[in-house]
Amino acid sequence: MFHPKQVFIAVIGTGGVGRTFLSQLHFLGSKLCQDASSPIYLSTIVLSTSKKFISSTDYHPIHLDSWEKDLAASTTTPPSFSDLAEYLSKAPNKVVLVDNTSNETLAEAYPLFLKKGINIVTPNKKAFSGSYELWQNIFGAAANGSGIGGYVFHESSVGAGLPVISTLKELVETGDEVYRIEGVFSGTMSFLFNSFMPVGGGGSSFSAEVKKAKELGYTEPDPRDDLNGQDVARKLTILARLVGLPVESSTSFPVQSLIPSELEGCKSGDEFLQRLGEFDGKMEELKKGAASEGKVVRFVGSVDVAKNKVKVGLENFDPSHPIAALKGSDNIISFYTKRYGDNPLIIQGAGAGGEVTAMGVTADLIKVLRLLR
């Protein structure tokens, strides 16, 4: 027997975000079932990594307090995504798929899940910054697009738990005119440039800052994955599409890579890091150029809506500009709109990290649960 207010949850991915999400899910589940006015019962029925898979017998819940041990002990490999969609669509009540991976194949299967009425919440940027066709298929199927399938929410795909996507959607839906979006969208790039050229002077060589950032865990295992600008380009693609620009992909507009062309052939991240110092002079020149105008250099992304232009790369900012004044690895996103006039609506704070990314996913899950009531 299933309770009519039972919602089934399938979680894929147990990395940094996935693990933290599972503990937030545990917290949320026990809170929701105690809601005197209208309890909701969350039952996790699938938990999967790329290698291991556990699912419940007859859609009964997996125990969230022993998931790690249970998953490690599993000898089952994950089914294909279409088999998974089939299994979930037969659940005796509504289902939410939580994709805590950055898996492109899973992203491409979203329309399939949505069409079967399965809801999706995810920080996976791939689904929303891949081909425009995939974007159209997702929102053509989703109930919060033009379809009649499941709902899809992806707040954490830009700025982690910061309310970036929800705010942009509200501006658009209530009829404001968004002129321009500008900001620092990468915690790594924020940290790198806030250290390389802090307001007021200081900072060591660029290659030394990259090494420091890597040691402190601010970069991807291979720092080239940050320095190529693609992470930022994906986020900009998502925002531009939300505001109505039919951006073909995250590679269809200018993205400045900080990987010197001479180092593009490096076989490993380590080789790259070893040789990066050869190009410190070039970065030092950029720094001097900015300083000669009384400015600092930052790695930013922007969407110019009227001109239909998206761009990612280095730009110089006055020290009094909020982008220059950013601290640590914070993100900042400014929305310039008709209603907000000269002073943009600004959202600022940590835009990466397991806790805040998982929080965005959990908040999306809560949104879906409300809509499913």
Nearer to its own copies among residue 145 and residue 260 (C-beta): 145
- 51: nearest Cα among 103, 108, 116, 107: 103
263 burial level (CB within 10 Å; 0-12, 13-18, 19+)? middle
Contact yes or no for 325/199 (Cβ under 8 A): yes
| CA-to-CA separations, 1 to 47, 118, 337, in angstroms, rounded | 22, 21, 51
> Helix, strand, coil % (nearest 5) of the chain?
40, 20, 40
Q: Annotated catalytic, 235?
A: yes
Q: How far is the CB of 150 from its own copies (least distance, A)?
A: 13
Q: Is 187 in the site for its own copies (CB under 8 A)?
A: no
- 165: nearest Cα among 250, 242, 248: 242
Q: Is 257 in the site for its own copies (CB under 8 A)?
A: no
Nearer to its own copies among residue 267 and residue 373 (C-beta): 373
| CA-to-CA separations, 261 to 22, 128, 142, 265, in angstroms, rounded | 41, 28, 41, 8
18 is in an annotated binding site: yes
Q: Is 322 in the site for its own copies (CB under 8 A)?
A: yes
* Cα four-point dihedral sign 31, 36, 37, 40: positive
Q: Is 330 in the site for its own copies (CB under 8 A)?
A: yes
Q: Is 69 in the site for its own copies (CB under 8 A)?
A: no
Contact set for its own copies, span 14-33 (CB under 8 A): 24, 27-28, 31
- 8: nearest Cα among 96, 81, 109: 96
Q: Is 37 in the site for its own copies (CB under 8 A)?
A: yes
Q: Is 236 in the site for its own copies (CB under 8 A)?
A: no
Q: Which of 61, 145, 203, 260 is the binder for its own copies (CB under 8 A)?
A: 145
Of the ranges 10-18, 128-136, 251-259, 319-327, which one interacts with its own copies (CB under 8 A)?
319-327
Helices 230-242 & 164-173, crossing angle to 10 degrees?
Answer: 30
Active-site residue, selected from the candidate residues 235, 267, 295, 338: 235
What number of chain residues touch its own copies (CB under 8 A)? 52
List interacting residues with its own copies (CB under 8 A): 24, 27-28, 31, 35-38, 143, 145-148, 161-163, 166-167, 170-171, 173-176, 199, 320, 322, 325, 327-328, 330, 339-350, 355-356, 359, 362-363, 366, 370-371, 373
Active site residues: 235
